[in-house]
Structure 1
Amino acid sequence: MTAAPRSPAGPAATAPAGLEPPPGAGPDTTRSRRLAGGIATTALARAVALAAPILLIPVSLATLGPARYGLWMSVLALTGMVTFADLGLGAGLMTKLAPCYANGDTARARSYISTAYALLGAVAAGLCVLLWLGAGLVPWTAVFNVTGEVAPGETRSMVLICLTGFLLNIPLALIVRVQYAYQRVASCALWQGAGSLATVPLVLLATHAPDAPVAVVTATAFGPLATNLAVSVWIFGWGMPELRPRLGAVDRRLSVTLLRLSGLFFVVVVLYAMATNADNLIIAHALGPQSVTAYALPAKLVSLVGMLVSMISMPLWSANGDALARGDLAWVRRTVRRMVILSLVATAVPTAVLALLGDWLFAVWLPVPLGDSRWLLVGLGLYFVLVGTFSVVLMVQNAAGVVRPHLIGQIMFLGLSVPTKWYVAGRYGLAAVPFAGCAAYALAVGPTLLYGYRRALAGQRPTPADVRGPSPAASR
């Protein structure tokens, strides 16, 4: 297969409707318009979609009760800690696809995509077999500290449902990376939003099932899987059929290249997942499962701020990859400055609103009292403010494949944050846990990301326009 011809500005077909660049626009103008359109459309789509799971919290909490809900949140924290099961291939694939997109090399892109699906499909199948064979050997009630509050059989069922849905979704979630790499950010957000909304009637029906708690967990766990399956059928069937994975396109040589880069992302993801998702497990053992619910519910509300971080930073990954492949360093620097300001405002403002109105929201929204959670909300929000600000520069080094500085930062973050959180949880209570995470992140990760950003740019060759100054198209 030969690569399809394309214009220097990239395939205009990937631009959101109504946001196509004008004729003759340069690559930087096209890229900026596509980035802005993707973020704007994503904001609108996620504003609608995020209302669904948030509104379902009272229903889920009333159906499961505080103890079962705390167990569920702890199991979800466990799935977050094993996000390394994708071996970093999602991140590595996204980095490798960006130059393919910039150069119009669909044959190489298809080989990368096919290889990634083959590797992750085998991993997911193997892990599912091991999970079901060994589930009866693990004392799950002791692991999650719910002995005497949730029956062992029910605990095992919840664990199997959540982990199976998570494992099966590992290869299916690659479709999100493919869409981002090809700068189809808006369409990806619309699909994910539609999937979230479709989960609402399923959960409401599950509350009337004979075993309602397990049914609610099942409906929630398999919603993302069904969404990614539907998106994959559409994208590879009609949207981008030239990239459809096939067994004949699997390339062993590319698998070595992909795994070499993905291995670094893999270690970073392991460290980050362990550091950030350990909160519920730390609290469960330090303060008990009831405290997990008191912590997890505010954290779920503040996760809206985390969604804003992802909404702003993830489209930058592929856009930076396209710019770096063309040597357009001026666009990268200019965009980083703008997006840092945007990320800071987008995360700080809702954090302040939640800090002021969070107690009132919980009082009128949830069936159980949570006490004074204002400082807990402030700490959780402040963490996402930090993550969002540094994520902008992180996307540059991810696009360039410069991973080691971030890896060093995550090693220090894990070593510093986990014992600190455990100590402050027992001594100062729930509200101190996110503040300990903020301090550890600022001290360990922040400096390494700034160093990695400078190193990523130093390793690129600028275009002549970048040396002499911005082109007329870039200044528009």
Structure 2
Amino acid sequence: MLQILKRWLKLALGSAHADDHAARRSKGVLRGTVTAIAGRGVGAIVGLATVPLTIGYLGGERYGIWITISTFLAFLSFTDFGIANSLSNALGKAYGEGEHGLAARYVSSAFFIFCVICGGILCAAYAVAPHLAPIFFPNLQSPLARAEVTPALLLALLLFALNIPLLVTNKVLAVHHEIAIANLWGIAGTIANLFAILTVIACQGGLPWLVIGSSGLGLLTNVACAAWVFGWRWPHLRPRLAGFDFAVAQDLLAVGWKFLVIGAVWMVNSETDNLVIARYLGAAQVTPYAVTFAVFANATLLQTLAYPSLWPAYTEAFAQKDFGWMRRTFRSHMKLSFISAFVVVSFLIIFGQPIIRFWAGESAVPPFATIVWMGIWNLMLATLYVASCLLNATGHLKGMTISGTITAVLNIALSIPLAKIYGISGVIAGTVIAFALAHYIPTFWEVRSVMRSSRQIPGGVVASGAEPGC
């Protein structure tokens, strides 16, 4: 364990030659993860600063509008139709095989597909925002809230849509193992949004201005990042209409729909528990479950933050047939993920109830059985993230689309009767059992198959220099 950490630290502080693909990948993963942790920390600090300020400034009703709009936009993340993830794999494969011209066509094609999606969302927002507002918020009491809700929703959709074409920027940075730069730009955007929110509050701006303040400067930061990436750093990848290729676009869409299904099924699996609890146990029981879920999510924080950096590294290594690096990195990642999650989960199983009692009050404290099942769930997630990252990056998607869909059905089928018998502990137990039977075992079986087949393929990149091992 210590040897692994020492080797990763050496990579972080050292330098890698441009031809040393393995060292470049490992360095990119480490720096991307570290800056992602820093970004999460900055985001947490900004949240701690802005939440009480905005609640106090807007009041409960208008603040609720703001949060509801943010939740709605989270569901709209599927409107890229999985093309962003499809682009990650396409670029990694193209660069891994030295096809830089093909990579440029992928960037241009994805960019203009995103522009079409952006235009569609803008038109839909203009047409439906006035009708969505009374559906989402039928019982607004304040005349000010009723006056502000439609323009706030429209502006939020506008800013969301304008960010979609800029998704290509982070994918270009990722394929060059420069996720750390994307994270630093993201930190700059978060800080800029903080100052914008403070300015709006100081100037007594309304909810629409607060929407602009919370997202507008982030959009400008993303534009600045794109200008740097395509204007100075990699101008040969700049999106051009002449670079749009219908065959390339079809390829992106053909793979993208699989990512769309995987993402949709994952959201269904993660969001249905609260719905089951509210329906069969009452809304009051959602609180202890949701709070416990949020507390235990810290056990898999490292895995989720490392994911964006590992994905393009695996894709490039797979394209270059550098299977030795893939196996060593997978084993190292698995060990670190399990050990880090085990430490956090063990601590939370012992001290979770008093922590929740202190943080959220007595009404949010769950039964001890819920704590234990939540710990098992997060240990499974910690290792499942490692496996799914490898399969996503190497394009082995069919199995996950099938097993994920079966898991979603089985999860609901188990959670409802178990909830009636065991309460909220039965709900998380149903989720764990469903994932273990229908998703966890098939996923690792497929990883085993990928690793075995890679041993039978001769050749591969021979990279100089030290790289992290087990």
Give the 5 Å matches for 1:52-451: 52-64=46-58, 69=63, 72-138=66-132, 140-141=134-135, 143=136, 147=139, 154-208=148-202, 210=204, 212-213=206-207, 215-222=209-216, 224-278=218-272, 307-351=301-345, 371-372=364-365, 383-418=377-412, 436-451=430-445
CA contact (8 A) 2:288 2:365 kept: no
Q: Cα–Cα, structure 1 residues 474 and 434, in superposed 2: closer, same or farther, change >3 Å?
A: same
CA contact (8 A) 2:291 2:364 kept: no
CA contact (8 A) 2:287 2:364 kept: no
CA contact (8 A) 1:161 1:221 kept: no
Give the structure 1 partner of residue 14 of structure 2.
19
SS state at 2:165 partner: helix
Give the structure 1 partner of residue 7 of structure 2.
none
Letter in 2 for 1:325: A
Q: Cα–Cα, structure 1 residues 159 and 139, in superposed 2: closer, same or farther, change >3 Å?
A: closer
Displacement of 1:257: 1.5
Displacement of 1:406: 0.8
2:52 paired with 1:32: no
CA contact (8 A) 2:193 2:214 kept: yes
Displacement of 1:194: 2.0
CA contact (8 A) 1:316 1:392 kept: no
CA-based RMSD: 4.1
- Segments of 5+ residues of structure 2 without an aligned counterpart are 1-9
Q: Cα–Cα, structure 1 residues 465 and 446, in superposed 2: closer, same or farther, change >3 Å?
A: same
Aligned length: 457
Q: Cα–Cα, structure 1 residues 221 and 37, in superposed 2: closer, same or farther, change >3 Å?
A: closer
Distance in 1 between the 2:217 and 2:432 partners?
32
CA contact (8 A) 1:89 1:116 kept: yes
Distance in 2 between the 1:332 and 1:31 partners?
10
Distance in 1 between the 2:43 and 2:133 partners?
36
CA contact (8 A) 2:318 2:394 kept: yes
Distance in 2 between the 1:64 and 1:429 partners?
36
Q: Cα–Cα, structure 1 residues 454 and 356, in superposed 2: closer, same or farther, change >3 Å?
A: closer
Give the structure 2 partner of residue 11 of structure 1.
none
SS state at 1:235 partner: helix
Displacement of 1:422: 6.7
Distance in 1 between the 2:155 and 2:36 partners?
30
Distance in 2 between the 1:418 and 1:154 partners?
38
Distance in 2 between the 1:154 and 1:293 partners?
29
Displacement of 1:238: 1.8
CA contact (8 A) 2:21 2:463 kept: no
CA contact (8 A) 1:196 1:224 kept: yes
TM-score, length of structure 2 as denominator length? 0.80
Q: Cα–Cα, structure 1 residues 123 and 52, in superposed 2: closer, same or farther, change >3 Å?
A: same
TM-score, length of structure 1 as denominator length? 0.79
Distance in 1 between the 2:152 and 2:270 partners?
22
SS state at 2:396 partner: coil
Distance in 2 between the 1:72 and 1:283 partners?
25
CA contact (8 A) 1:420 1:436 kept: yes
CA contact (8 A) 1:405 1:451 kept: no
SS state at 1:39 partner: helix
CA contact (8 A) 1:352 1:378 kept: no
Q: Which moved more, 1:82-91 or 1:29-38?
A: 29-38
Displacement of 1:91: 0.5
Displacement of 1:83: 2.0
Distance in 2 between the 1:444 and 1:390 partners?
13
Letter in 2 for 1:181: V
Distance in 1 between the 2:125 and 2:155 partners?
11
CA deviation digits over 1:191-213, x for unaligned, max 9? Answer: 22222222222223334454655
- Segments of 5+ residues of structure 1 without an aligned counterpart are 1-14
CA contact (8 A) 1:206 1:219 kept: yes
Distance in 2 between the 1:130 and 1:75 partners?
16
CA deviation digits over 1:16-58, x for unaligned, max 9? Answer: 98532269x8533443344334333433444344432244333
SS state at 1:245 partner: coil
Q: Cα–Cα, structure 1 residues 286 and 249, in superposed 2: closer, same or farther, change >3 Å?
A: farther
